[in-house]
Structure 1
Amino acid sequence: MFGGRIQSKNLFFFAAVLPTLFVVSGAGDSLVFGRPLPDGEFLVSSDGVFKLGFFSPGKSSFRYVGIWYNRITVQTVIWVANRETPLKDSTGVLSISASGGLFISDSRGKVYWAALPAMPARPAAKLLPTGNFAVSGAAGEYAWQSFDHPTDTILPYMKVGVDWTTRKTKNLTSWKSADDPAPGDYTFYPNIHGDPQTFLLKGENQVWRSGPWVGEKFSGIPQMTTYDFFKLRFVSNAKEAYYEFTMKNTSILSRLVLQANGVMERLVWKEEGHWTLYWYAPRDDCDHYGYCGPFAVCDASQSLLCDCLRGFEPSSPENWKLRDWKDGCRRSTAVECESGAYGFVKVTNAKLPDTSRVAMEKTMGMEECREACLRNCSCAAYAAAQVVNGTEHGCLMWSGELVDIRIYYDDGGDLFVRLALADVGDSPGAPRRIWPIPAAAALLLLLLALLSRFLWRRRKSNRVAMRSSHSTKSQQRKVEMNTSPELDLPMYELPAIIAATDDFSAANKLGEGGFGPVYRGLLEGKEVAVKRLAKSSSQGLNEFMNEVSVIAKLQHRNLVGLLGCCVDGEERILIYEYMPHGSLDSFIFEKDKALQLDWSTRFRIITGVARGLLYLHQDSRLRIIHRDLKASNVLLADGMNPKISDFGLARVVASDEAEGNTRRVVGTYGYMSPEYAMDGTFSVKSDVFSFGVLVLEMISGRKNRAIFDSDHRLNLVGDAWNLWKEGKEREIVDSSLGASFPTAEALKCIKIGLLCVQERPEDRPEIETVVLMFGGNSEALPRPKPPGFIVARVCPDGSSNSSNSVNDITFTAISGR
């Protein structure tokens, strides 16, 4: 039995017994009867990896008993005993009784926490090399272990699942905050109904779902098949069902943790002195449970995330237009089971629907599975239960609603959805089945179904035409912009924007860029950023339309979200999600605010921008070259999460197109690559150049266009190159960081920045390679070649020239001083 508090009737007994245990504790990894562990002393596992003792989390002064990594300077707690009952002082003692009970008490004998396992012979509690704290007896069996009672962390060899005999599950619960390990709002637990899967809850509301285990991965985590460092397995038998992971290289430390903000993260410890984020969930809106409602699919690569399954239509068409998808979809044509006029359509690369109520047959093949679904009129869909090395095994059959389906780019499984024959069509790979009936009757049924479908579509087209003839001025403007047919981007009336920004009041003004001023507003109860095209702006209708057409198609946590737009006369307005911390340049180039950017925050911003750029260049369904990546176009959301913004100058290129060319060179000097500024040639490598400049600015806290050497007139890139060649790269690091940064990691980032700003585009790495470089060893990186950098012209009065003409810039390669 495991308890946080114990009954008051037992307090007298414990208070009488415990004082006899208060003698000097022994060192080592074990706690034995008669040798308690007082606050200030510790147990250490035999391999030195884990430590157990009293600690105070964060800024708290309360004392808890916990387990953390012994050799890591950043205290990382992986288990807490008395989560809800801390001690107020340092008089606490952890002890084990003669019967194997564990107790946390104070000097007065008050018990704050107890674990009372079955009584073993000659009990001892040992901190094992796995991080497990276990009570065992002379026979060696575990009477109690911390692995059976996790807090917020999963370690290698820890089983997370259910014991079918006792029906007990092993759940994770988040901390309330970094200062309070008491159970927070979020729970990660295994769902034992149907085909087992794991869920993330906030209170009682489902937030995220892993999907069922389908042989080599969870259906909702397809990237698990690419995990090279881990051995992953899911075991399900008559006794238990559980998931666990182990490390192929035991010298690598990794953990799964449920953070206080409700994000499940897999972290890996880097020798440079920090935890690296390897995986997390929820990753995007499509990861949120049931985001699109029943019988709908979510696709994060599309501008409109939700779409109905084939053969289904929105349950609430008006809400669907407003991007309120929670009602999901309904069948376009009813399935009449008795007639036999139905079949299946295959949904590929899918996260399988919620399997809580699924029927599962482990021994069926796919043909048997399809036949079983056909015979059952309530069967809505079927899929393979497992796919191992491309071979399908077992059968899953859903009845009722299909909920929480999403589509992946190149992974996921196959789901076969039952449809009326009229809705099946000629879908490739969609298996059909008609009950054996005379050929003439079958043909007649098919013709009737097709005729019914044709008439329904005709009536629908007539209704659409009637609505079009009564369109509003706003809809007419949408047609004029040519955005509605492709994007379905919400249009807002100008009076609504004026009301949201208090008539564009100066008090609501957030800043101003090349496009025009940006205002804070409250629109439909949500904080937004309103970007208004200035009449004097050099960015006109083309740039406005470019930004609308490009960013509306994008969905990524490191890209700013476009919520809508407004066109009214000469007014052209874009509405974005509000970023509470503003732009990155206001932090790194202002000494006071730069103090808020410690190294871990800077590194997280750098890698976040890299992931956003990787999405633009490679992972989105469009290949996009930003052309104006700079510090002021990186906005900071909650948690200082970076988001790339301002796509007015972006270009969409074919997936196989290497570069483009323009006669009109636009962008920001200091971030432009040499080939773009001089020849108008842009490519993904010109974005990499801009990113390299941004990396060097983040590390140094200096602008690239500033002059640092009056003799050589070098900018930041040139100065960083010379310092690196002379072995003085530490001088590049922002002095506001002091000595509180991992030197090896900072120097690696400087080297990556210099690799990105090399003069020749072919020498610069792809952004995919850059992302991998941040997680690799600095010594394995190639040696940078000389950069293409800007020599700043000096005006007669000694000030630098700030002209916006390309002719005022000289690009060259430099050697060491």
Structure 2
Amino acid sequence: METLHSHHVSTFIFIFSLYIPFLSLANDIITPIQPLTINQTLVSSGEVFELGFFDLRNDNNLYLGIWYRQIQPRTYVWLANRDAPITSSFAKLTIGGDGNISLVDRAEAAVWSSNRSTMAVDTVAQLLDSGNFVVRREDDENPENYVWQSFDYPTDTLLPGMKLGLSRTTGIDRVMKSWKADNDPGSGDYSYRININGFPEFVFLNKETVIYRSGPWNGIAFSGTPEMKGVSMIQFEFHNTFDEIYFSYEMVNSSVYSRLLVNSAGYLQRFIWTANAETWSLYWQFPRERCDNYGQCGRFGVCDMNSFPICNCLNGFRPRDEYAWFKLQHGSNGCVRSSKLDCGSDGFLPLKNVKLPEGSKAFIDRSMNLSECGEICKRNCACMAYANMDVTRGGAGCAIWAVDLMDMKQYAGYEGGGQDLYVRVAASDLGQSPTTINSKNGNNVVKIVGITVGICAGLITLLILVYLKRKNMRWSKKSITYRIGLQESIEGETKMDELDLPLFDFTTLAIATNNFSDANKLGQGGFGCVYKVAETRLATIVELS
């Protein structure tokens, strides 16, 4: 019995020793001697994120990715081999002696790798609660010393703490790129990336075509993204230093989940996880309206969803194609100056609450104030507009545009979007109101049309009277009765107003002028339009007694 007991104990110790490497390994880490196989996952220490293999369409295409552990259905936030799926039923993630992590297939061929050229020894790979998958030296947990990190290589999602932008020291350009389709994580056509030229801003692209731009950072938010203002649960940051230029955000409460997504349908979306409803709520989305579309109103045009048509020209400008502008509501041809500039007498009119023009060719100077910026622009005859770079603390910095102004959007004051832009105009235009845009009332065009129609109608009436007298038409001694209002029924009989002078209602005038046809238009002057009236048409609407 003693011998048998000793044998069992020895056997148990031997079996247990086989599991010591696995049991001693934390479930968020892989090491050179313990890779991650197809039937295993890594779970971050707080069980926020999980990393492992998955087959998205049951087509034997294996991907390595990261998703929220506690959220169903799965929400993927990062993929390693999005464009190189493993097509066999075997795969593992290893970390080599040089510090590179590699995804290999059955033949030990690397399908994907971190591909670092600098060697690092004694390294481990770890999944963090931030969703960042990092390679670090085993005894160094300083984030600044990570050998490699997934946060530098975003796919379609930006998580809190991730940087979107360019590291000037490493050359890494962090770009978000959509999936091809909801069930295909391959690199799609849509991307969100920084344009570092001129006045830096982010652009949303369909392949190489800009479809939306954020507007430049003004110290509080991007000038074309008013939704960023007044958001208490998220802290936004924009850094532009010698070493790097990037945008990032943090959640004030880390237990609240939020993600920025470039989706396969062509939208930039921010989602917030609603725990009670167990669903992702759409917080904002771009483009959200026609005025968000890049170049909607062309050069020197301003888009305003509160006006009709939505495209407007600045004072001192007129539509390049008036027919397309007013008849077709198509303003992409933009505006041209109606008054010639004279550098010495030109001035500047402020455009309030506007998304600043496309800034890739703008000149910027952090040291100038707004007054100095205006003086520089005034002396430079090529300068078309200027603005503050930063609107905080009373404004600071200078941005100057010496090119045609493109892709401006007007915001109403209550929307909190945009900032002030000072636009160069001829001296003859300085006496006008600051812009053709009234952010408090979007019905200006409708009012103008109504007034013009009223004036035209009055002139047409006068023209008809003169025409009738010149033709010596025979009028009855009795007053001619015209239908000018609602009929009043008295004791079963219809009574109509009788006037000594002939009056015509709007419908009558429309008939007489063939619905104010351009073919009947004689001209127009300071008081409105003048139309001719066909005698045959007049005969059908005037009763002679």
Q: How does 1:323-722 map to 2 (within 5 A)?
A: 323-337=329-343, 340-389=344-393, 391-410=394-413, 411=416, 412-427=418-433, 476-477=514-515
Partner of 1:133: 133
User: CA, structure 1 residues 414+478, in 2 after alignment: closer, same or farther (shift >3 Å)?
Assistant: farther
Which deviations, in whole Å up to 9, do the C-alpha atoms of 1:50-77 show, x marking residues without a partner? 0000012256542100000011112000
Q: Structure 1: which 4+ aligned runs deviate by more than 6 Å?
A: none
TM-score, length of structure 1 as denominator length: 0.49
Partner of 1:635: none
Which deviations, in whole Å up to 9, do the C-alpha atoms of 1:241-260 show, x marking residues without a partner? 11110001111000000000
In 2, Cα distance between the equivalents of 1:142 and 1:98?
Answer: 16
Instruction: Choose from 160, 166, 177 the match for 2:181.
Output: 177
Instruction: Identify unmatched segments of 5+ residues in structure 1.
Output: 1-22, 431-464, 481-817
Contact 1:194 1:359 in 2 (8 A): yes
Contact 1:119 1:143 in 2 (8 A): no
In 1, Cα distance between the equivalents of 2:435 and 2:179?
Answer: 47
Contact 2:103 2:112 in 1 (8 A): yes
In 2, Cα distance between the equivalents of 1:248 and 1:326?
Answer: 41
Which deviations, in whole Å up to 9, do the C-alpha atoms of 1:117-165 show, x marking residues without a partner? 2222201111111101111114442111111010000000101111223
Partner of 1:258: 262
User: CA, structure 1 residues 476+106, in 2 after alignment: closer, same or farther (shift >3 Å)?
Assistant: farther
In 1, Cα distance between the equivalents of 2:87 and 2:169?
Answer: 40
Contact 1:60 1:179 in 2 (8 A): no
Partner of 2:77: 78
Instruction: Choose from 292, 298, 307 the match for 1:302.
Output: 307
Which deviations, in whole Å up to 9, do the C-alpha atoms of 1:355-407 show, x marking residues without a partner? 11110011111110100100111110001101115x11111100111001001
Q: CA deviation at 1:27?
A: 5.0
State the AA in 2 paired with 1:80: L
Partner of 2:290: 285
Partner of 1:147: 151
Question: Which one has more relative contact order, counting CA pairs under 8 Å at least 6 apart?
Answer: 2
Contact 2:227 2:284 in 1 (8 A): no
User: CA, structure 1 residues 354+78, in 2 after alignment: closer, same or farther (shift >3 Å)?
Assistant: same
Instruction: Identify unmatched segments of 5+ residues in structure 2.
Output: 1-20, 437-458, 464-509, 519-545
Contact 2:315 2:432 in 1 (8 A): no
In 1, Cα distance between the equivalents of 2:122 and 2:99?
Answer: 8
In 1, Cα distance between the equivalents of 2:59 and 2:407?
Answer: 40
In 1, Cα distance between the equivalents of 2:301 and 2:334?
Answer: 6
Instruction: Choose from 253, 278, 281 the match for 1:276.
Output: 281
Q: CA deviation at 1:478?
A: 7.3
Partner of 1:316: 321
Contact 1:385 1:393 in 2 (8 A): yes
Contact 1:297 1:404 in 2 (8 A): yes
User: CA, structure 1 residues 222+39, in 2 after alignment: closer, same or farther (shift >3 Å)?
Assistant: same
Q: CA deviation at 1:300?
A: 1.1
Instruction: Choose from 209, 229, 232 the match for 1:228.
Output: 232
Q: CA deviation at 1:477?
A: 3.8
Contact 2:314 2:435 in 1 (8 A): no
In 1, Cα distance between the equivalents of 2:176 and 2:516?
Answer: 49
- SS of the equivalent of 1:211 reads coil
Contact 1:152 1:172 in 2 (8 A): yes
Structure whose CA Rg is larger? 2
Contact 1:298 1:407 in 2 (8 A): yes
Contact 2:315 2:435 in 1 (8 A): no
- SS of the equivalent of 1:67 reads strand
Which deviations, in whole Å up to 9, do the C-alpha atoms of 1:584-608 show, x marking residues without a partner? xxxxxxxxxxxxxxxxxxxxxxxxx
In 2, Cα distance between the equivalents of 1:93 and 1:59?
Answer: 19
In 2, Cα distance between the equivalents of 1:400 and 1:32?
Answer: 56
- SS of the equivalent of 1:54 reads strand
Count residues with an aligned counterpart. Answer: 418
Partner of 1:707: none
Contact 1:293 1:329 in 2 (8 A): yes
In 1, Cα distance between the equivalents of 2:366 and 2:309?
Answer: 37
Instruction: Choose from 156, 171, 175 the match for 2:160.
Output: 156
In 1, Cα distance between the equivalents of 2:340 and 2:60?
Answer: 64
Contact 1:100 1:116 in 2 (8 A): no
State the AA in 2 paired with 1:386: D
* 2:124 pairs with 1:121: no
TM-score, length of structure 2 as denominator length: 0.73
In 2, Cα distance between the equivalents of 1:255 and 1:317?
Answer: 43
- SS of the equivalent of 1:370 reads helix
Contact 2:315 2:434 in 1 (8 A): no
Contact 1:312 1:331 in 2 (8 A): yes
Contact 1:58 1:178 in 2 (8 A): no
Task: Provide the alpha-carbon RMSD of the alignment.
Answer: 2.6
In 1, Cα distance between the equivalents of 2:517 and 2:154?
Answer: 57
Q: CA deviation at 1:429?
A: 10
In 2, Cα distance between the equivalents of 1:233 and 1:199?
Answer: 17
Q: CA deviation at 1:283?
A: 0.6
- SS of the equivalent of 2:395 reads strand
